[in-house]
Amino acid sequence: MPTIGAVLDQYPHRRYNPLTREWILVSPHRATRPWQGQVERRAGPPPARYDPDCYLCPGNTRAGGVRNPPYESTFVFGNDFAALLPDTPPAAMNESGLLVAETEKGICRVVCFSPDHSLSLSRLPRRSIEDVVDVWVEQSSALGAIPWIRSVQIFENRGDMMGASNPHPHCQIWANSTIPGELARELAAFDARGGCLLCDYLAIERDRNARIVLENDAFTVVVPFWAVWPFETLVIPRRHLSAMDQLDAGGRSALADVLKRITTRYDNLFETPFPYTMGFHQRPADGAPHDGFHFHAHFYPPLLRSATVRKFMVGYEMLGNPQRDITAESAAARLGQLSDRHYAETAR
C-alpha cells in the first residue's frame, strides 16, 4: 500500500487551511497538462533610475499638483486616490438583514522604498530594506495609536499582472476603522485553537523540513501545506510576536534579510521580475492585547509554469473552492534550490 506522502504527490486530494478554516483542492496529476490559454508578455528591459513621467520619483509632481521632495531614502505620503477617507460621516442601513451597509473611515498612505525607479525589494541593498522595515514599524505604531483605527494593513502589489499602477518600488498602508475579513478570520482561528497556531505549525515544518524555502535566526519562509497560489510563501517569525513593533533591531534586520532573499529567489525562478501581492498580518489595533496572534507575512505570486503562464482563479475556484496543480512540496523544493544572488547580478 502506498504511503500517504506518495498518494498526496500523485492523486487529487484536499488540504485544510487552519488560518482561514477553508479547504483547497490539489490535483498534482494535472501539472503537465498542455497550455493553449492566455500567455502574458515578458517583462521588458529594466526601467531607468529616474523617470520624468513617474509621479513617485523624487522632485516630480503628483496628481493634484503636489510635488515630491528630493527624497534620498524612503518617502511616505497620503495616497492621492485613497480608498478610505478619515472624514467619512457615519451612516448605516439594514433592510431585513439582506441589504446591509455602513460607512467606513480610514487612512491610506504610500511608502516609496527608494528614490531609484529601477529597483525592487529583490534589488535593494539589505540596509535600504531595513530602512523600509523601520518605516513600516513607525507607520504601524502611529496609525494604530489613532483611537478610531482598528487595523493597519501593509501590502505591496508588484508588477502589471497584480494591478500595480506604477513600477516605482513602493507599497501601501491602509488603516481601517474596522477589522478586515481576512484578518478577522485568522484572528478567530488563533482564538479558537488555544495555543499559538503558527508556533505549533512552524514546529512541525522545521521538524519535517519538507516545505521550508529558507530561514535565518529569526524567520522561516515556507510554502504552506495549504498554499493556493503556485509559489505562495508564508514568512513566520521563529519567536512568538503579535506585531512588527515587537521586533528589536536584530529582528528588523532579519526581516529585511528574508524579504531580500525570497524576492530574489522569486525573480530567479523564471529569470523575470516576479509579480506578487505581499502583505503583513499583525494584531488588530483595537486596544485588546491579542497576545495569541502570531505576526506573519503572505506572498501570493501568480506565475505557474514560466514568466508568461500564470495561475487563474476562475471556474471551480470561484464556484467551489481554490485548486492548485503543483504540490506545496515541489514548489518549496524549486524555490529552495535557487540562489540568493539575483540573476541580473550574476549575468554581469
Show the beta-strand stretches assigned E in 147-295.
151-158, 170-176, 212-215, 219-222, 233-237, 276-281
Checking phi first, is residue 130 left (phi over 0); if not, alpha (psi -120 to 50) or beta? Answer: alpha
Q: Tell which residue, 42, 7, 43, 55, has the closest CA to residue 28.
A: 7
Whether 170 is catalytic is: yes
- Distance CA(74)–CA(129), nearest Å, equals 10
Amino acid code (one letter) for 304: L
User: Contact at 8 Å (CB) between 202 and 220?
Assistant: yes
User: Contact at 8 Å (CB) between 174 and 105?
Assistant: no
By CB atoms closer than 10 A (0-12, 13-18, 19+), residue 311 is: buried
- Distance CA(27)–CA(50), nearest Å, equals 45
- Distance CA(156)–CA(109), nearest Å, equals 12
**What three-state secondary structure class fits 141?**
helix
Point out the catalytic residue in the list 170, 281, 296, 342: 170
Q: Which positions are annotated as active-site residues?
A: 170
